[in-house]
Amino acid sequence: MAQKADRKIEKTVKSYLEQLELIGIHVQQAFLFGSYASGKHDEWSDIDLAIVSKDFIGNRFEDRNKIRKITLQVNSDISPMPYRPEDFNDNDYFVKEILETGIRIV
């Protein structure tokens, strides 16, 4: 797993997660992954964020739609990947990559 997130990005992500809590999305885990986790981001990079919550239903389209308004209010560069706890395990190649290279925020 990567070391530490950039302070500004970490602050943005934590603010976003706090806003999700206010609408009833109780975040159990959150991982920054992709270019911000690897330190290879540029001005066009989005903020890839895996969010694990029992409040998601497991339909990625519907779950993203559920949090879309908060995403746009906090920072439209955030690219959330919602997961239910039972779906967030290293049996999934993508999740395994997040766990190995991502930065745990929560």
Residue with tokens 């967030």: 88
Q: State if pTM tops 0.75.
A: yes
Report yes or no on 93 lying in a domain: yes
- Residue 50 sits in a domain whose CATH number is 3.30.460.10
Report yes or no on 67 lying in a domain: yes
Asked if 9 and 47 count as a contact pair (C-beta separation under 8 A), the reply is yes
Of the chain, the percentage scoring pLDDT greater than 90 comes to 93
As for how many domains the chain has, the answer is 1
- Distance of alpha carbon 103 from alpha carbon 106, whole angstroms: 9
The pLDDT of residue 3 = 62
Q: How do 47-53 and 78-83 pair as beta strands? A: parallel
Domain limits at 66?
A: 7-104
- Distance of alpha carbon 57 from alpha carbon 5, whole angstroms: 28
Asked if 76 and 12 count as a contact pair (C-beta separation under 8 A), the reply is no
Tens digit of each residue's pLDDT (9 = 90 or more) over 18-64: 999 999 999 999 999 999 999 999 999 999 999 999 999 999 999 99
